[in-house]
A and B are shown apart, each in its own frame.
Chain A
Amino acid sequence: MDAQIKRGLLDICVLAAIKYRDSYGYQIIKDMKPYMQISESTLYPILRRLEEGKFLSVYSVEHNGRLRKYYHIEKKGMKRLEEFTSEWKEIMDVYSFITREADAE
């Protein structure tokens, strides 16, 4: 995938990974893997940025004697996802225009 497009999609994908249930770093990477490869060092600034922007919140849960950080999607994050899906509909229209068959003219 084009690097530009990928960068734009990463924030959205991270939000989508915690859309239905709170999740932690490694789980997010695993959930995204079939769709988009992302490394720990790429994920970190994204999570921090989304946290600073109040798109998600963070809380710690004890797990096997250590703390694990869980990420919870906030209203603003949900809104961002909704905006994305409505924008995407427009993009899909353009897509069907690009890939239309010759006889459709």
Chain B
Amino acid sequence: MKKQEFIDEIRMRMEGLPEEEVTKSIDYYSEMIDDRIEDGMAEEEAVDAVGTVDDAVKGILDNIPLTKVIKAKTKPSRKLKVWEIVLLAVGSPIWFPLLVCWILLIVLFYCVIWIIVIAFFAVDFALMVSGLASFIVGIMALFHAGPTYPLLAIGAGLFLLGGGLMLLIPLIKLAKVTGKLAKVIVLWIKSWFVPKKKAVNEEQEG
């Protein structure tokens, strides 16, 4: 691939995104390629060494907030014609609920992931609280009743408390993994809004 093709493809896929980000990234890749050529590489070789357009696009998306990506990519690139506005207005009972539904689905999906983690923590917390309560009640009952049941309560309390504490370790790990997963999901959603490949290329390949 030639340098210009590489740059054009990035520009095409980033179309509509904040111009400042697009220009910065294109300047960066263009400088990298030029520096490699100056270092003695052939143009195609330099472009290859810089990496794939996919990786470049991912790296650029990394620094643009999700809301900005969606806003830029759903905004029409030209002024709408009158009949288009009419059509949009007439069709709004259909597309608007669908759009809201879609957005809610994404938000809900994101929430559900975290709610599962929170639920785990809540259960663990309940275990520890009930363990502590059982322990305290057991100690208090020791002075009033015979030793059998209070000791049982103390033992059960310690068991629950210890189990709850031990469960904390894998749970914290789970929360960390979820955080990473959530990041991957956000990047994945961002990539929906970026075209996969240049239309011309598809024609040539198909």
**A and B associate in one complex:** yes
A45 (CB) vs chain B CBs: closest residue: B62
B55 (CB) vs chain A CBs: closest residue: A41
Within the complex, the shortest CB–CB distance from A46 to chain B, in Å, comes to: 9
Question: 0/1 per residue, A31-69, Cβ < 8 Å to B?
Answer: 000000001111011011100100000000000101111
Q: With A and B bound together, what is the CA distance between A49 and B65 in angstroms? A: 12
Chain B residues with Cβ under 8 A from A49's Cβ? Answer: 63
Q: With A and B bound together, what is the CA distance between A68 and B36 in angstroms? A: 13
| B29 within 8 Å of A (CB atoms) | yes
Chain A residues with Cβ under 8 A from B25's Cβ? Answer: 44
Within the complex, the shortest CB–CB distance from A94 to chain B, in Å, comes to: 19
| A26 within 8 Å of B (CB atoms) | yes
B-side interface size class: 20 to 34
Cβ of B24 and Cβ of A25 under 8 Å apart?
Answer: no
Q: With A and B bound together, what is the CA distance between A42 and B31 in angstroms? A: 15
Cβ of A69 and Cβ of B36 under 8 Å apart?
Answer: no
Cβ of A26 and Cβ of B39 under 8 Å apart?
Answer: yes
Q: With A and B bound together, what is the CA distance between A40 and B56 in angstroms? A: 8
Q: With A and B bound together, what is the CA distance between A69 and B30 in angstroms? A: 11
Chain B residues with Cβ under 8 A from A67's Cβ? Answer: 27, 31
- Decide if the interface of chain A is mainly helix, strand, loop or mixed: helix
Within the complex, the shortest CB–CB distance from B9 to chain A, in Å, comes to: 14
Q: With A and B bound together, what is the CA distance between A88 and B1 in angstroms? A: 43
Cβ of B31 and Cβ of A66 under 8 Å apart?
Answer: yes
Cβ of B63 and Cβ of A41 under 8 Å apart?
Answer: no
Chain A residues with Cβ under 8 A from B35's Cβ? Answer: 24-27, 68
Q: With A and B bound together, what is the CA distance between A42 and B115 in angstroms? A: 32
Chain A residues with Cβ under 8 A from B39's Cβ? Answer: 26
